[in-house]
Structure 1
Amino acid sequence: MWELVKAGGWLMMPIIVASILALAICIERGWALRSRQIAPPGLLPEVWGWIRNKQLNADKLRQLKAGSPLGEILAAGLLNSRHGREIMKESIEEAANVVIHNMQKYLSLLGTLAMISPLLGLLGTVIGIIEAFMAVTGAGMTDPTMLANGISKALVTTAGGICIAIPSMVMHRFFIRHIDNMAVEMEQQAVKLVDIVHGDREVDFQVSAP
């Protein structure tokens, strides 16, 4: 492996850095975007229990907001629920925009790494081929294998760049799709809360006694 890295030349260094960054982003986002972390199951029934038992206060709202992204959205709506249905919905939408933006953290960088990695590899290949031709030209075409060896080494950077780009692009698409799904789930929960608070929907879940 180390011999391949050395064969690729100095442009293997930014490719290696890109691979480390991409791996770190995938691990961090994979941990941060767990479904149970984003939208804890049972959160809406718990909030309704607070409302029903008149336990909803400033401390509960702070706890709700800090607990999860879904909690942050619900807390924004509850904080403005007394101003009417439309204001409550607008508050939820504003909070949801911020939450989704935060969920997409680092994903633009991951997408950029997926795009530039093969370009770095191609640049390394071009530079390597130029150097190989220059070496052959300077020494004379006495040994054709010299040119073949130089080109094969130059292709190492392209292979390295593609090996980084493919998983990075796959994970980027996966995270974007996952965020879209979670956004739909949070929207449904928030709409239920608005309808329940303003009496437009019957409570369709069981709330355990405190």
Structure 2
Amino acid sequence: MEFIEHILGFFQQGGAFMYPIALVLVIGLAITVERLLLLRRAERENSALWKQIQPLIEQKDFNSAEQLAKGSDSAVGRVLGAALEHARTHGDSRAELELAVEESLMEVTPIIEKRTHYLATLSNMSTLLGLLGTVIGLITAFAALAKADALEKADLLSAGISEAMNCTAFGLMVAIPFLLIHAFLQTRTNDLVDSLEMACMKLVNARSAANRGNR
């Protein structure tokens, strides 16, 4: 209970700008949870489907691989399914297949990267809101000093500085974790995109090798 009371007291002493910083915190946490769940699900689904499709590609059974890919809603399934369908209907030259793969990746990648960049923006907003609250708190404190009695000036100045510093501290406490979370999620996102590109490259190479073998 004492810890909760200390947190509440810290929040109340920070002034009005503590509330927009708290709103930034809530929004950032919601984005973090949503992105973590999406990336974990995407990684799990991609890994499971790739384990099934990879042997078919290595065996040059592209029809079965296409059916399996198009029956999945995973990112790798959408990319490979679209690429294999394009190769089957519009020609399976390496250039055609690479264009189909790039087009599919351009459709899937924004979904994977969606909203992650907001965390960096929210981190900057939290820092700036904390600084703005500090500046306004100091302005208010010094303005009150001009009208206060000599005996009250020390107390007013101490209260004003305390309020200003609380706002800065809260802003930084929100901003620093979001910077770390953004870096972590960005790394996970890049790894997922790299795995999609790797799967696409293996498909292109296998299809090209099959075409050369049929000539």
TM-score range, shorter chain: 0.7 to 0.9
Give the residue type in structure 1 aligned to 2:181.
Answer: M
Given that residues 53 and 69 in structure 2 are in contact (C-alpha distance below 8 angstroms), is that contact kept between their aligned partners in structure 1?
no
Superposition TM-score, scaled by structure 1 size: 0.84
Q: TM-score, normalised by structure 2?
A: 0.83
Percent identity of paired positions between Structure 1 and Structure 2: 30
Question: Compared with structure 1, are the counterparts of its residues 50 and 32 closer, same or farther at alpha carbon in structure 2 (3 Å cutoff)?
Answer: farther
Q: Report if the CA contact (8 A) 1:111-1:169 is conserved.
A: yes
Alignment of 1:130 onto 2:139: yes
Q: Residues 137 and 38 of structure 1: is their aligned pair in 2 closer, same or farther, counting only changes over 3 Å?
A: farther
Q: Number of residue pairs matched?
A: 198
1:189 corresponding residue in structure 2: 199
1:90 counterpart = 2:131: no
The answer on whether the counterparts of 2:56 and 2:64 sit within 8 Å (CA) in structure 1 is no
User: Which residue in the other structure is 1:22 paired with?
Assistant: 28
Question: In 2, are the aligned partners of 1:100 and 1:179 still within 8 Å (CA)?
Answer: no
Residue 141 of structure 1: which of 143, 150, 158 is its match? Answer: 150
Q: What are the Cα deviations for residues 102-161 of structure 1, in whole angstroms up to 9, with x where unaligned?
A: 111111221110111010001001111111111221113323132012101221111111
The one-letter amino acid paired with 1:63 is: G
Farther off after superposition, 141-150 or 183-192: 141-150
- Work out the CA distance in 2 between the residues paired with 1:60 and 1:44: 7
Task: Call closer, same or farther: CA 1:91–1:53 in 2, change over 3 Å.
Answer: closer
> For the aligned residues, what is the CA RMSD?
2.3
Which secondary structure does the structure 1 equivalent of 2:76 belong to? helix
Counterpart Cα distance in 2 of 1:161 and 1:195: 51
Query: Relative to total residues, which structure has the larger helix share, 1 or 2?
Result: 2
Corresponding letter in the other structure for 2:17: L
The answer to whether structure 1 residue 81 and structure 2 residue 91 are counterparts is no
How far off its partner does 1:191 sit? 1.1
